[in-house]
Structure 1
């Protein structure tokens, strides 16, 4: 019995040491190295080629010294009974992050749960920033729809007009790409060095493949939106980052502490540390870092961060006439029955989106009029296989929750 007890104690001590070692490695080496990468990249911007020079000129000034400290802006209008039901659900899912719920056009909950940074004991709040992952594709789709509305492109444009080197590009349209039905795929590993947009697109173009059997059939392939982002750059003669800043963030009054590109997130006081979901480990036992090369490789598909409210404002502005007209939205998102179209999964009266990047995850559902919404943003991705169930449960909860 004494030997068994000693063995169990040994296992527990060993697990604690492993967790502590992982955290120490992250804060003692990985994170400082990442911060240093950011500083070196900024110092070298002036020496980069023309694409990065254009980007540098268009960046918003986000010096940390000029950014106010984050404030706890949590909103909670739920009755005690509704609050208890929500907390029970979140606790069962071991959720850490921020939840935003909208009912009848009013935010009834915007609240943080768990830690943004477990080491410093900084909690998640309504102001916490998260990577939105593939939800960014809806932003890329809006940019394409804006360019079509201005007569600079058409849904029926063949990809050959922009990338003639892609096989069968004369039979692939922008509509095919927006609806993930182009037959294109890209499975090569992400670049290991930081590339400019032009360099990344060249890298992708050398490795993209085409399957004629999948042309016209839904097949989720992010490369479609990387190429669409490249088309945005071709038509505007600006970097994708500049276009998003000018056409999406600026009109909505969003600043760097609301939304931005991933390489700026570390400058923000409300950034969140990513945590892994290693079996039998604690919620915060496995901090995860991301390289600059990986961030830059997600052009148009997954390198934007936002608060829950900023993401809601962007998506609501899409459907209420600020970014696109109602007719333009209807044309863009031309699918139904939960089928992917125009950067989202569309149903009769609402649409959903889902993004995962660097162990951060977003589950998003919103009515087509923006009056009901449920947004879950987490810095410990855990809903990847259950996200469709999540969006249904939390959307229904937002519709029916009792409020004070």
Structure 2
């Protein structure tokens, strides 16, 4: 979806948002974190919220405003669309099914979804999980006007898969290279349903959300609202920022529909990396690079910081951007979510915030 946003931004102009910083803290405020979060908002966002855990110490902060044109503070416990962080949840369910003997990483798409994907005999569950299938990303077939006009549309898995398959593969044979494609996770959602008889959303809820008591997390399906407190999210148009908070998230599907909170995502990644959700050998599989030089495994990403590697994922859901990472031992976690204003590039300021949160 980042590439779709880039097209949107290139085609439109919006006025700068002047951020009014606000903070809410629970526990000691680690020096500099609020300043770095304010820098994120000043550079590229209407509002932002974050939770940082350092051992038994907790810091929560916000900056900017919850709604453009108001002075309303961002709710520190606010919910947001977590985008591709959804993929780590879905990948965890797939690997639990592998652990139970219901699936194998070397199972082919053809085995589970016969006749759906050309060359499905040569594309495996592993290829889908680590984006080495070569299948075209259906998101790249969507134009900005189509996204805006389809705000309330219910997108089916069949529909988006067919859009992707109308385009040639980005490479062949499968496994040769890495190319991020949301189509892979749409197919995984369908495979979960075939293997369990339940939807991928129900399986995520039963296996992850409920056992971990993630009270602010849900797989909304086609529900257009974000329940509970939340900042508003926007897309850029010729007339300025358009409030796009309410929309049908089926366009994201198994690759990106999750709604969550900073506390819940920190809890999820802590549980995952602590071995609460998967046996050690499958967690190790998650951490294996898809191809050499790529910091992405089976639905899990990683990044280098000045004090070492951290694992997690990031997500972009048009109106919200999320980063959630943890040290391998789970002693340091950070989740930050923002509502972009599309006036600048957040990469450098987000890197600074994440490094400060993890390394102090």
Task: Give the TM-score taking structure 2 as reference length.
Answer: 0.78
What does residue 299 of structure 1 align with? 253
What does residue 172 of structure 1 align with? 123
2:310 to 334, 339, 350: 350
How is 1:146-157 mapped onto 2 (pairs within 5 angstroms)? 146-157=96-107
Structure 1 runs not aligned, ≥5 long = 1-17, 20-71
Q: Deviations over 1:135-183 (max 9, x none)?
A: 1111111111000000011111111102232111111111111111011
Q: Deviations over 1:319-359 (max 9, x none)?
A: 11221123321112212755221112235732242211132
**Rounded Cα–Cα distance in structure 1 between residues aligned with 2:344 and 2:326:** 19
How is 1:26-37 mapped onto 2 (pairs within 5 angstroms)? none
Size of the aligned set, in residue pairs, is 323
User: Does structure 2 conserve the Cα–Cα contact (< 8 Å) formed by 1:259 and 1:310?
Assistant: no
CA drift of 1:269 comes to: 3.0
What does residue 66 of structure 2 align with? 116
Compared CA separation, residues 242 and 169, structure 1 to 2 (3 A): same
What does residue 339 of structure 1 align with? 295
What does residue 10 of structure 2 align with? none
Higher relative contact order (CA 8 A, sep 6+): 2
1:310 to 264, 271, 279: 264
What does residue 5 of structure 2 align with? none
User: Does structure 1 conserve the Cα–Cα contact (< 8 Å) formed by 2:51 and 2:59?
Assistant: yes
**Rounded Cα–Cα distance in structure 1 between residues aligned with 2:162 and 2:40:** 41
Compared CA separation, residues 368 and 383, structure 1 to 2 (3 A): farther
Structure 2 runs not aligned, ≥5 long = 1-13, 16-22
**Rounded Cα–Cα distance in structure 2 between residues aligned with 1:227 and 1:159:** 8
**SS of corresponding position for 2:285:** helix
**Rounded Cα–Cα distance in structure 2 between residues aligned with 1:133 and 1:381:** 17
What does residue 224 of structure 1 align with? 184
**Comparing 228-237 with 198-207, which one deviates more in the overlay?**
198-207
Compared CA separation, residues 317 and 397, structure 1 to 2 (3 A): same
How is 1:42-191 mapped onto 2 (pairs within 5 angstroms)? 74-79=25-30, 81-83=31-33, 85-86=35-36, 89-95=39-45, 96-104=47-55, 106-118=56-68, 121-165=71-115, 166-185=117-136, 186=138, 187-189=140-142
User: Per residue, is there more helix in 1 or in 2?
Assistant: 1
Greater Rg by CA: 1
**Rounded Cα–Cα distance in structure 2 between residues aligned with 1:84 and 1:254:** 26
CA drift of 1:299 comes to: 1.6
Task: Give the TM-score taking structure 1 as reference length.
Answer: 0.70
Superposed CA RMSD: 3.2
**SS of corresponding position for 1:368:** coil
Matched, 1:236 2:189: no
**Rounded Cα–Cα distance in structure 1 between residues aligned with 2:259 and 2:355:** 26
What does residue 320 of structure 1 align with? 274
**SS of corresponding position for 2:275:** coil
